[in-house]
A and B are shown apart, each in its own frame.
Chain A
Amino acid sequence: MVGCGQCTQRRQLGSAALGLTHNVFIMRTDFVRIYKSIHTWTGIVTGMALFIAFYTGALTVFKEPLTRWATPPHNTQPVPLADTQQLIVKTLIAQPAVAADFSIHLQDAEHLPARLSWQVRNPGAEDHDESSTQHYVATLDAEGAAKLAQSTPSHLATFIDVLHRVVGLPVDSDANRWVMGIIAGLYALALVSGVVVLLPSLVKDFFALRIGKNIKRMWLDSHNVVGIVSLPFHLVMALTSVGFAYHDGIYLVQDKLLHDGKWGSAFQQQRPVKPVSAPRDPATMLTPIELITKVKEFAPGFEPTTLQYQQVTGPRALVRVWGKDTTAVSPRARGGFAAVDPYSGKVVNSEFLPGRQSTPSLFISSFFALHMAAFGGTAVQWMYFLLGLAGAWLFYSGNLLWVESRRKMKPRQAETLPGQRLDTRLMASATVGVCLGCICGVSLTIVGGKWLHGLVSDMNAWHPILYYAAFFSAITWAFVRGAAQAAIHLLWMAVALTLAIPMTSLLAWLVPALGMWTHTSLSSLGVDATALVGAAALTWMARATSKRVRLGTPDSVWFAGKS
C-alpha cells in the first residue's frame, strides 16, 4: 500500500512522454489514495471485532469435538438401535407432546447422553437464542419402562459460536446481529478497497516478501499476501454474513414489493393431507433401522447421523434423516436430510439431501456450506480452521500497520526520543488487549468447563463469565501497562491458559479423584492436541515479542527496554 504510490509515480514518469496516458495515471493514483482512506478507516473500525469473529469462528468449525471434550461422562448405556422403536413408542405414551419433534441419535458419542432426545424452546426467546432452551432425554430402565429426564448439554461450543456470530457480544439477538451486519458490510468495503489499493502494484508486491531491516515493509508484504491469497474466502464470509444479519429485513421488504405478501406461505408443505380422524399409532412406523436402509438405498454415499421425527402421530408425519456426504455440498452446518414418510418409508423430499439437490437449491446451500465448511469432510474443516486463524492474523496485522504508519521516527542527529502519538499508543493497547484477551478468554472458558464441573450448579452460565472476566482483565491490563509490556504478559497468559487444556485432560487421567474426565475419542483428543500446538505457537510469539520489546528500535510503541 505504501510502495504502490511510489511505483505508480515511477510509471507516470515513464509514460509522461506518451502524454495520452498521463491523465489516466493521475486518476489512478487518486483512486488509490481514496480507496486507501476507505481501507484504513473501515479496517480500523472493524479490525478487532473481526479478530474475535474469526478466532472464535475457526474454533466453531470444530464445535462438535469441543462439545464432546467438555461433556462430563455419563454412565447410562444407550438403548440398542434395534430396540429404539420400543423406546419411541413408550416415550410417546408417557409424554404425547413429544411427538411434535424429537430426535434419535445413531452415533454413540460423549455429547449424546441417550438415544432419544427432544427440546422445548422458550416461546419468548428470539429466533437464534438457544440459551433458554430446555433439553430432555429418554432411556429404557432395567424393566424396559421409559425413563424421561432433563439433560444439560454443555454450552461451551455454543457460547463460542455465539461470540463468532455476533462479533464478541454475549447474546445472538436481533439487535446484536444488526451490529454484526454493519461490521460485515464495512469488512466487505475494506476487502474491495484493499484490492483496489493493491492492484496497481500487485505483480510487484505479491511475489515479494521482503524480510529484513524494514519490519513494517515485511508486515505489509505479509498482510498483502495473506489478504490476496484468502480473498475468495473473505469475500464469501463478508457477503454471507450480511445475508445472515439482514435476511429477515430483506425478506420483509421483498415480500411487500415483489411477492405480494405471500412469502409467509412459501414453505408450507405441498403434500396433500389425508383425512385422518384418530391419531396414528407410532408402533406401526418403520423402525429406525428400516428407515436408514431405505435412505441408503436411495442415496448410497449418504451417512445418516440423526433421525428427526416430526408430528409422527398426525397426518403429516415426517422423519428428517440427517447426515453427511463428504463428496457433496451439505445445505447446513450439521449436514443435510432426506424427508421420509415413517409409515411408508417413501422419500418424500430430497431438496435438502447432499448431492441430490436441484441446481437452484444447491446454489442456496452453497452460501451456507461455503461459510460453514459443510462440504468435503475433515480436510476442508482443517482448511477453514487455518483460513480462519489467518483471517484473525490479517486483522491484527492491519491494526499493527495502522499504528506503525503513524509512528514518529527519531531523527538521526536527535538526542531525545520523540513521544509517540496518544492515538497510536491507545490503538496499540486496544489491539493487544482485545485480541489477546479473546484468546485468553476462550482458553479459560474451555478449561473452566472441566475444573468448575461439580463445583458450580449451572456450568453453562459460567462460560460467559469466565470469558468476559479474562477478556476485560486483558484489555484493562493492556491500557494500564502499555502495549509493549502487556503484549508479553498477555501472550504468556495465553500460553498458560491454552496449555492448561491438554494438561487438565492429562491431570484428570492421572488423578481420577479430582472428579474430572479424559475422553479418549479421536475428536476429544484432537481438542487437546490442537491446544498443545496452539500453546507452542503462542510461546513462539511470546518469545519473539519479548525480544522485540527489549531489543527493537526505541522510537516505537512496541519498545519497553532500556534506551
Chain B
Amino acid sequence: MAKKTTQPIQRDWLSKTLAGVLLGAVIALVCSGWFTQLNSEMPFAIRGQLAMWMVPPIWLGVLSGTYFFGSGARAWLWLGAVSVLSGGSLAVLRLA
C-alpha cells in the first residue's frame, strides 16, 4: 500500500468518469437484481419499487468514489471485475 502511493494519483477525468457512470450503473443494476432475487417473498410491487430506489444511491456512490482510484485504467479494472463477478454470478443463479 505505502509503495503504490508514492506515485501521484492520475487524474484521468474522462476514463474515471466514464467508469463511474457506466460501470456504476451496471453495479447498481446488479445490486438491485440481487435484492430482487433474495427477496422473492416480498410483494412484487413493493420489491420492484425498492429495487428501483436503490439504483440512484449505489450508482452515484460508485461514481463519487471512482476518483479515489490511482488511475482510470485501475478504475475500469476494479469496477469491471466487480461488475463481471457480481453480474455473472447473478446470471448463473437466475438461469440455474
Q: Interface on A for B, CB 8 Å cutoff?
A: 20, 23-24, 26-27, 30-31, 34-35, 38, 185, 188-189, 192-193, 238-240, 242-243, 246-247, 250-251, 253-254, 257-259, 262-263, 266-267, 358, 360-361, 363-364, 367
A358 in complex: contacting residue of B29, B46, B55, B59, CB < 8 Å: B46
Interface secondary structure of B, over-half rule:
helix
For window 37-68 of B, CB contacts with A under 8 Å fall at 42-53, 55-57, 59-61, 63-65, 67-68
Residues of chain B contacted by A27 (CB below 8 angstroms): 5, 9
Residues of chain B contacted by A247 (CB below 8 angstroms): 52
The chain A residue with its CB closest to the CB of B6 is A23
> Is A254 in contact with B51, judged by CB distance below 8 angstroms?
yes
The chain A residue with its CB closest to the CB of B21 is A185
> Is B53 in contact with A364, judged by CB distance below 8 angstroms?
yes
A178 to nearest B CB, angstroms? 14
> Is A243 in contact with B56, judged by CB distance below 8 angstroms?
yes
Q: How many residues of B contact A (CB 8 A)?
A: 33
> Is B29 in contact with A189, judged by CB distance below 8 angstroms?
no
The answer for the CA separation of A35 and B53 in the assembled complex, in Å, is: 26
The answer for the CA separation of A363 and B54 in the assembled complex, in Å, is: 11
For this complex, 25 residue pairs linking A to B, each with C-beta atoms less than 8 Å apart, are: A23-B5, A23-B6, A26-B5, A26-B6, A27-B5, A27-B9, A31-B67, A34-B67, A38-B67, A185-B60, A193-B67, A238-B60, A242-B56, A246-B56, A247-B52, A251-B48, A251-B52, A253-B29, A254-B33, A259-B44, A266-B44, A360-B42, A364-B46, A364-B49, A364-B50
Evaluate whether A259 and B57 lie within 8 angstroms (CB atoms) in the complex, with A30-B8, A31-B9, A253-B29 already known: no
> Is A360 in contact with B48, judged by CB distance below 8 angstroms?
no
The chain B residue with its CB closest to the CB of A27 is B5
Residues of chain B contacted by A262 (CB below 8 angstroms): 44
A188 in complex: contacting residue of B42, B51, B64, CB < 8 Å: B64
B5 in complex: contacting residue of A24, A188, A266, CB < 8 Å: A24
B95 to nearest A CB, angstroms? 12
Residues of chain A contacted by B8 (CB below 8 angstroms): 30
Residues of chain A contacted by B74 (CB below 8 angstroms): none
Evaluate whether A243 and B9 lie within 8 angstroms (CB atoms) in the complex, with A254-B32, A257-B29, A266-B44 already known: no
Q: Interface on B for A, CB 8 Å cutoff?
A: 2, 5-6, 8-9, 11, 29, 32-33, 36, 42-53, 55-57, 59-61, 63-65, 67-68
Residues of chain A contacted by B43 (CB below 8 angstroms): 360
Sample of 11 more A-B contacts, CB < 8 Å, known A34-B67, A193-B64: A23-B5, A24-B5, A26-B5, A30-B9, A192-B60, A243-B55, A251-B48, A257-B33, A259-B36, A360-B42, A364-B46
> Is A258 in contact with B68, judged by CB distance below 8 angstroms?
no
The answer for the CA separation of A254 and B47 in the assembled complex, in Å, is: 12
A254 in complex: contacting residue of B48, B61, B63, CB < 8 Å: B48
Residues of chain B contacted by A363 (CB below 8 angstroms): 50
The answer for the CA separation of A360 and B53 in the assembled complex, in Å, is: 12
Residues of chain A contacted by B32 (CB below 8 angstroms): 254, 258
> Is A189 in contact with B64, judged by CB distance below 8 angstroms?
yes
Most buried by B among A27, A263, A363, A364: A27
> Is A250 in contact with B55, judged by CB distance below 8 angstroms?
yes
Most buried by A among B6, B32, B44, B67: B67
The answer for the CA separation of A188 and B66 in the assembled complex, in Å, is: 14
The answer for the CA separation of A266 and B61 in the assembled complex, in Å, is: 29
A395 to nearest B CB, angstroms? 18
A542 to nearest B CB, angstroms? 38
The answer for the CA separation of A243 and B57 in the assembled complex, in Å, is: 9
> Is A263 in contact with B48, judged by CB distance below 8 angstroms?
yes
The chain A residue with its CB closest to the CB of B13 is A37
> Is B46 in contact with A20, judged by CB distance below 8 angstroms?
no
> Is A267 in contact with B33, judged by CB distance below 8 angstroms?
no
Residues of chain B contacted by A185 (CB below 8 angstroms): 60, 63
Residues of chain A contacted by B42 (CB below 8 angstroms): 360
Residues of chain B contacted by A243 (CB below 8 angstroms): 52-53, 55-56
> Is B52 in contact with A267, judged by CB distance below 8 angstroms?
no
B14 to nearest A CB, angstroms? 13
The chain B residue with its CB closest to the CB of A363 is B50
> Is A361 in contact with B60, judged by CB distance below 8 angstroms?
no
The answer for the CA separation of A254 and B59 in the assembled complex, in Å, is: 14
